[in-house]
Amino acid sequence: MQTLLNYGFEQLEWQVALLSFLLAFLLSTGVAWTYERTFQGLSYSRGLVQSMILGSIVSCLLMIAIGDNIARGIGIVGSLAIIRFRTNLRDPRDLIFLFASLGIGVASGVQSYSTAVIGCFVFCTVVYLLYISPFGTRRKHDGLVRFQLPAGLQTTDRATQILQEVTKHFVMVTMRDVAQGRAFEYAYQVKLHQSKDNETLVRELEQIDGIRGLTYTNQAVTVEI
């Protein structure tokens, strides 16, 4: 039994393996913590955060098991080819965080500890800087306005005039009959000069005689449904 243990650890001391696993765990936890603190959206997944840590440990395990043995690498690749990962990630940012965790696990598994530590620090720092900076944000003031008007050119022309005065640009999305020719429902996509112009738009449209069902929906580009 002792001979078997010595044979198994002759290439790698158990202290080194334990250090690699601990480093992979700690650094991937830092990546997962950064993801949690900088997450924006509605589809937060606790399983994804835990997968970052577990994936780092598994990748570290595989690199330790492979070592410098080409035959082991081919065998492990063949075994992993049987597994099909069908998880759909809606945000490419989630995939980048998973890759970062796997990269940390690989670096820890090959005992490139300085690369793992520096890479984790640089990655988390850049993520936080991008989070607090406006980089990549398109400041649009877009919205969708819906209302119903009684049939007649006078009310339609008045609504069109208000849209021309208040908005920067507008386009009709839908128009449908809601009362057998006596009233129509309109939907316009509008682009405002400023975000506060939506109040002015709604207030002006409310002055039209016979208008009903007036709603304004803000189209925020950063909100994920």
The answer to whether the CB of 51 falls within 8 A of the CB of 98 is yes
CA 173 to CA 114: how far, in whole Å?
56
* pTM of the predicted model over 0.75: no
The answer to whether the CB of 31 falls within 8 A of the CB of 52 is yes
* Per-residue pLDDT tens over the stretch 189-225: 888 877 778 888 888 888 888 888 888 887 755 444 4
Judged by average pLDDT, the poorest of 63-72, 119-128, 206-215 is 63-72
Specify the domain boundaries for CATH 3.30.70.60 within the chain. Answer: 142-218
Percentage, residues of the chain above pLDDT 70: 79
Judged by average pLDDT, the poorest of 15-24, 138-147, 181-190, 214-223 is 214-223
Under 8 Å CB-to-CB from 32, ≥6 apart: which residues?
Answer: 49, 50, 52, 53, 97, 101
Q: Which CATH code is given to the segment(s) 142-218? A: 3.30.70.60
Taking 80 as the threshold, does the pLDDT of residue 7 lie above it?
Answer: no
CA 65 to CA 201: how far, in whole Å?
65
The answer to whether the CB of 100 falls within 8 A of the CB of 38 is no
CA 164 to CA 105: how far, in whole Å?
57
